[in-house]
Amino acid sequence: MTTIPLQAYLILALILFCIGLFGALTKRNTIIVLICIELMLNAVNLNLVAFSQLGNNPGITGQVFSLFTITIAAAEVAVGMAILIAWYRHKNGVNVDEMDGLKD
């Protein structure tokens, strides 16, 4: 079954991670930034599971770790949305670039 080398998964994870990163950097819409962060966390999960299955020391712990990660990432995104909505009420916009009231 394990015909796929670990590297392939690691590379996929990396593509996801990098795209997430690029999005988080470039996108002006805060929601998309959040989505991109979600992408990055997915990449980590992929990594964990791949290691867990195909890594040097296979074991189930990676899966368990992913379970925790998935749930907590979801909670994080949800909180992010709530804060975003609170912010939107003030600004009537979701542009990241408008978040520069605090500086110096």
Partner 1 sequence: MDIQTLLSFEWGMMAPEFTILIVGILLSLLDLFGKDTWKKSLPWLAVGGVGVAIIFLLFQYGHGDISILGNTYVFDSFAFYFKLILLIATLLILLMVISRTVQQEVRDRGEYLYLLLAALLGGMMVASGGDLISLFVGLELLSLSSYIMVGLRKRDVRSSEGAMKYLINGSIATAFTLFGMSYVFGLTGSTKLVDIAREMSGSLGSGEPVAIIGFIIMFVGLAFKISTVPFHMWTPDVYEGAVTPVSAFLSVVSKSAGFIIIVRIFWGIFGNATFGGSDTLFATMIDFIAVLAFLTMFIGNLVALRQRNMKRLLAYSSIGHAGYILIPLVSLTPVSLENIWFYLLAYAFMTIGAFMVIYILEQQKQSEDISIFTGLYRESPALAIIMTIFLASLAGIPGTAGFIGKFNIFVGAVAADPAQYILAGTMAVMTVVSYIYYFNIMVQMYIRKPQLEGTTKIARLQSVPLILCVAGTIGLGVFPFIALNFFH
Partner 2 sequence: MIYAVFAPLIITLLIPLLSKWKERVHTGWFILPVPILIFIYFVQFVGENFTPHSESYSWIPSLNISIDFYLDGLSLLFVLLISGIGSLVVLYSIYYLHKSEQLKQFYIYLYIFMFSMLGVVLSDNVFVLYSFWEFTSLSSFLLIGYWHYRERSRYGALKSMLITVFGGLSLFGGLITLSVITETTSIQAMIEQKDLIVNHSLFPLILVFILLGAFTKSAQFPFHIWLPDAMEAPTPVSAYLHSATMVKAGIFLVARFSPILGGEPSFFIIVSLFGIVTLFWASFMAVRQTDLKGILAFSTVSQLGMIMAMLGFGTDVAIFAAVFHILNHATFKGSLFMIAGIVDHETGTRDVRKLGGLMTFMPMSATLALFGVFSMAGVPLPFFNGFYSKELFFESAIDLPGFSGAFVEFLQQAIPYIAVIGSIFTFVYSMYLFFSTFRGKYKEHELKTKPHEAPLGMLISPSILVLGVILIGLFPNMVNESFLAHAATAVFGDGFHAHEVKFWHGWESPALRMSLIVVGVGTILAITRKKWTSVYTVFPRRLSFNELYNYIVDSIEKGSTKITETYMTGSIRHYVSYILGSILIITGAILFITNGVTIEFDDLAPITIPEILVGLTMAIAAIASIFTNNRLSLIIIVGVVGYGLSVLFVIYRAPDLALTQLIVETVTVALFLLCFKHLPELKNLPSHPGVKSINFLISVGFGVLVTLIGISSHSSKLFSPISEYFIEESVPLGGGHNVVNVILVDMRGLDTLFEITVLGIAALAIYALIKLRHDKEAK
E strand segments, 1-104: none
CA distances from 92 to 24, 65, 102, 104 (A): 21, 38, 18, 24
Question: By the criterion CB under 8 A, which residues form the site for partner 1?
Answer: 17, 20, 24, 30, 33-34, 37, 40-41, 43-44, 47-48, 51-52, 55-59, 61-62, 64-65, 68-69, 72, 75-76, 79-80, 82-84, 86-87, 90-91, 99, 101-104
**Separation in Å, CA 44 to CA 28, 62, 63, 75, 87:** 24, 11, 12, 16, 29
Amino acid in position 40: M
Q: Does 16 bind partner 2 (CB under 8 A)?
A: yes
Applying the rule CB under 8 A, the residues between 37 and 56 that interact with partner 2 are: 38-39, 42, 45-46, 49-50, 52-53, 55-56
What binding mask, one character per residue, do residues 75-104 give for partner 2 by CB under 8 A, x or -? xxxxx-xxxxxx-xx--xxxxxx-xxxxxx
